[in-house]
A and B are shown apart, each in its own frame.
Chain A
Amino acid sequence: MTFKTAIAAISALWLATAAGAEELKMAVTTSFANSGLAEILLPEIEKDTGITVELLVVGTGQALKLGEAGDVDAVLVHSKAAEEEFVAAGHATHRREIMYNDFVVVGPAADPAGVKAATAATEAFAGIAAAQAPFVSRGDDSGTHKAELKLWKAAGIEPAGDWYKAVGQGMGAALNTAAGMDAYILSDRASWLNFENKANLGLLFEGDKALFNQYAYLPVNPEKHAHVKADAAKALEDWLTSDKAKGMIEGYKIGDQQLFHFNAEAM
């Protein structure tokens, strides 16, 4: 092979992927990305605003870190307390609620801890702890993980012991682990519905208000990081809170289940 052919081949490779539009990097949670909603929204966003949104799919903790370091232009996560702290520290200009979905308790169909009969999320968790039934925790500082810890706290339980497995991984990997071990797990609804390896698991508990999961949009503060694309971030925020977004978010279904509920307020 001649040197020239090699060079030609390499240049062809590079050119094939050259992009044109403005790019905006947004850190989002695994649960949002796994829902499949992004794949519906992003092409429309690009069409309407000319912005190519590049998603970094991470846990809430890391998403906020990325915003803090200035490595992304905006953050879309679901952990209110951490978000408010983030804004207070000046890392984002403000916090804008966009939509919510909910968590569900998933577990073995046989339901040894009697979660199905519970009337509140805390009761379901207490049942699992009492039965010492295997429970898989994300253990990765994600929004889902934080929501889970909040529920244990509300139930007055310090989760520890052989039955409590913190895997330190994303939602999908944690669900895989739960499926492999026939364990209980707290999952966002979207990840659960999109999950393909359900094995013996089933949806055992849902609907408690305590399981609601609010997503908020945080544009990274350009005063801290001059390079962030504040204009694009503003345009994206406007789009996400528009009527068009509302229609698309409310209309997104898996099977016949609506996943997200739009609740952005006009400013």
Chain B
Amino acid sequence: MEMNSPIGTTPLDRARDGIVGKPLDRVDGRLKVTGGAKYAYEVAQAPEALYGYVVQATIGKGRITAIDKTAAEAAPGVVLVLTHENAPEQARNRRAHPVLNSPDIAYYGQPVALVVARSFEEARAGAYLVRVSYEEASGSYTLKGGLGQARVPSAGYSSPESAVGDFAGVFPKAPVKLDVTYTTPLETHAMMEPHATLAVWDGDSLTLHTSNQMLDQGRAAVARTLRMPVGKVRLISRFIGGGFGAKLSVQADAILAAIAARHLHHPVKVALTREQIFNVTTHRSDTIQRLRLGTDETGRILAIGHDAYSGNLRTESQFEAAADQTRTLYAGANRLTRNRLVPLDAPIASAMRAPGEAVGLLALECAMDELAYRLDIDPIELRIRNEPAEDPEKHIPFSSRHLVECYRAGAERFGWNKRQPRPGQVRQDQWLIGIGMAAATRGNVLVPSSASVRMGPDGIAIVKMAMTDIGTGSYTILTQIASELLGVPPDRVRMELGDTAYPEAAGSGGSFGAASSGSALYVACERLRAVFADRAGLDTDKAEFRDGMIVLGGKAVVLASLVGASGIEVRGEIRPGDMSRKYSQQSYGAQFAEVAVDGDTGEVRLRRMLGVFTAGRILNEKTARSQAIGGMVFGVGAALEEAVVLDPRFGAYYVNHNLADYLVPVHADLPHVDAVFLPELDDRTNPLKAKGVGELGICGAGAAVANAIYNACGARIRDFPITLDKVMSALPAQA
């Protein structure tokens, strides 16, 4: 099916008390909490796998002049030391990077060797014995330092710039002008499961058990890198302990495990340690963002401009599209958005949860808050005054947009009417209390995906697709969709995911996973329903599927009796179509936060937080809410804590490269975080009428916290994260 027209009424709409949307517990929950779910590094393998440990470069840029591996090779248990001298040649491509392919050091922490041994401990001990000599070169390591080299990047996920009307002419003359610069730091994904791969060769065929979000894409990348036919590569990833974008592309663990296993004719597994992940894999670039908002006296936007700078390794083209949401969120006739990329000698920057919006909204939504105070207009009212009737740049309708409803419902539930319009008005003991809000928006996409569904004479539906579940709940929502459409209980659905041997699927990224893979399944189930109806001699459009039967009028036929001895299998496929071109598609929400600022020390403590969202049909109330809350927690981290710190004396050296020093929120930081979805169906997005949920929660969340800090104490910190030292310096003297 190609999504070329609105879907109309579907069986999911007709289901009166259907299972889709219900807060079904995770179908894989028991396996996970009992240790039955095996992650890549834990998959049993005969013969038992050898262990690889990565050695990293300790210079910022330059060249390896010599590698002395004598001591490492002689160390107990070590069977191989792989370096650029004995690693095979590899091909460059967008989704994986050759490893140990040259003596050149492009960035600090780049892998320079892999030590393989009988145990992890022996491999690690051996790794410390590898002596690498370098010839150092000078490099450019910081975004700020490299701003002079900023360039217009080539289009990737998004286009680098957009212009409508006459921003340059109108902004300077606007009656009210705000021109502010925000900075956001480099961030690491910090998912729970580190990157890990077990590589097994069978002749010239390679199987990688690997923690990867996008299996089909990953398979192609591995094949290209190792110069193999795609058909000879299989990726398996049944369970993934989080990714947040870190596992969209194939990382060094997979390539190195594959190379070493081929070299040794023996299975090899490689996991990156937390410290290694910071430099060996990707991160979210830091950004410098200039926001210019020009309005009339009533707050109506006349001109809106957003310039966003991010950095990446000089051979990379991906930029942090932080200016993007500014193209659709607010009305205004004169618009200019520009994403710029600064080439650096630093580890590779790539997507991290809500690439673009997560940091773009920190800047835009704080700037809107500044504007509201400047104009003395309630921040919600200011936003409503600038609510566009159509996509303000493409001039096409929105597929669905209930942002104003989110503001209103959120304001009501949160008690927004108690907000003091001036900062610093509410004090409890040493605490200054404030509330703030921000808008959330995240682009919605549909990507090609396919699925197969089979029913055998036992009446069990078996669904297969190379979809992944990165902890989000794919297994569960897909089970619900199949269960609903085929009229069989969830425990009669077997969901087989995470294997490139299955039909190609969307994978998990860009919040498109559930809707894309679910739509493919929807199409497959519709096909199967048609076959059943045909065989039962009933009208597909009128028949009901329930309790393992197809039912119409007085007639009920058991599905299992219709499949014959060998069962029936059908495939379904979804592709994006005209709907994505004709309609501007986004998920939306309104974020609210209450914080307490310690009037002595500047410590900020979140008190409560609420997000009210619309994202089309919600497939599972519980998993969707968990995603939204998880995203909001990311936002709290971005606002208050998370920052990779660079020490350019050593290159792009990340000083706090571990989770003791790179702080993310802990339970005590998150007293009460709630997320609510308002009912919405969007028949232009996909057959499920759903929109993306996974990244929506982070959008605007940090800005709501930052705006609450301003409301609490009057400190407007434009340099994230808002740590206590920055707040303290803006506080008045103690009495």
Are both chains from one complex?
A: no
